[in-house]
Amino acid sequence: MVYVLFLTFLIWTGCSSSNATAPGPAPAAEAAPVRVAKAENRRAPLEVSAVGNVEAYTTIVTRSPIGGILMKVFFQEGQSVRKGDPLFEIDTRPYREAIHQLEANLAKDRATLQQAEASFNRAQQQDVHYGTQANRYLKLAEQGIFSQEAADQASLQAKSARTAVRLETASIASAKAAIAATEAAIANAKLNLSYCFINSPINGRTGALQVKEGNLIKANDVELVTIHQLQPVFVTFAVPEEHLTIIRQRAAAGKLPVAASIPNDSRPGVSGTVSFLDNAVDRDTGTIRLKATFPNADSRLWPGQFVDVRLLLEDRPNAIVVPAAALQTGQQGNYVYVVKSDQSVEMRTVTPGPRAGIFTSITSGLQPEERVVTEGALRLAPGMKVKVLGQ
């Protein structure tokens, strides 16, 4: 009896277990939620993006060409200055005194010249007198009226007078040379005096003051202040060498427009033009360096600042574009997920073109009005059903 009950229990347990584990019909796969956008025709400029660095149009490092005590500073650190504005004044007293001393030396040299000219006139008169007398004595000696000795004595005096003329001529030349040297020294002293007043050579903005009033400075020794010209400014950047051909073609045809924007600045970017193309490609990086000029009227661009640069190479007015977020990259290259009419997705290989802002142009593989997935593509596979959340 017990044995029959035990078999009955085992049979009932096995049947219950079989019923519990029996597989039912498979549930339907849930549609993946995605956001989509339509491919559309719109303007697609061919732009090259890069990171640029702002450079001052002109940088002046101000030093004093003379030594002395710095008496006055006429500006505040960081102040904008105009060309010709006074910056520094160095003690002028030693240089003024040097000019006075040289002017006194010049007066002395001129007096020496006058004395040499007077001596020259006297020597010249004596030369004429003794020359005439020597000729007369020589004729009288030939006639036997005077002795030959007296004639020789007269000739000797004439020669001495001619020598005196030559000496006084040399004295005049020496005095004139001394005057010229002193005048040159005065001009140099006046130039040094002018160096006591240092003015701004450009329109720009001053940096930190390196020397304070009252300090003694040496000639060409210490940087006093650096001035940057901010209007206009340069932005230097590099682009891949693959764009070199079209850059050269566009540069030959006209100016290449460039836009620069400051990171984390909500204001629109500023516009400039390419003004310099380097004469060689950097072999280490495979890039070519360019420099653009920006008017910078509002001084938004600052030397040393990094900016986002966009170089416009070509403008395509009627290109097929999609949001850049729709473009995916896989082992086979670039692709997008296209949502078909039955709400399933197709993986479509495409060829991307230039990017303009948040949009990327598609040169092949896509038609206008086709819907592409912009969000949720990572969870998709070809043929999956999707649920469009919005566009």
**Is the domain of 255 the same as that of 377?**
yes
330 occurs within a structural domain:
yes
**Is the domain of 291 the same as that of 373?**
yes
Per-residue pLDDT tens digits for 232-261? 999 999 999 888 888 898 888 888 899 999
Cβ within 8 Å of residue 84, ≥6 positions away: 199, 200
Look up the domain containing 83 and give its range. 65-87+197-228
18 occurs within a structural domain:
no
- Half-sphere exposure (CA, 13 Å, Cβ side) for 67? 5
CB-CB neighbours of 16 under 10 Å = 9
Cβ within 8 Å of residue 89, ≥6 positions away: 70, 71, 72, 74, 196, 197, 198
6 occurs within a structural domain:
no
**Is the domain of 122 the same as that of 246?**
no
15 occurs within a structural domain:
no
Number of domains in the chain: 3
pLDDT computed for residue 209 by the predictor = 93
Strand partners, 308: 51, 261
Report the CATH number at residue 78.
2.40.50.100
Residue ranges of alpha helices (H) inside the chain are: 2-21, 93-142, 148-194, 244-253
Cα dihedral value 165, 167, 171, 173, nearest 10 = 80
Q: Tokens 């697609």 identify what position? A: 44
Write down the pTM of the prediction: 0.63
Where the chain has pLDDT below 50, the residues are 1-22, 24-26
Strand partners, 61: 226
CB-CB neighbours of 299 under 10 Å = 11
Nearest-angstrom CA–CA distance, 371 and 269: 32
Nearest-angstrom CA–CA distance, 361 and 232: 34
pLDDT computed for residue 141 by the predictor = 65
pLDDT computed for residue 40 by the predictor = 87
pLDDT computed for residue 207 by the predictor = 94
**Is the domain of 251 the same as that of 125?**
no
**Is the domain of 149 the same as that of 164?**
yes
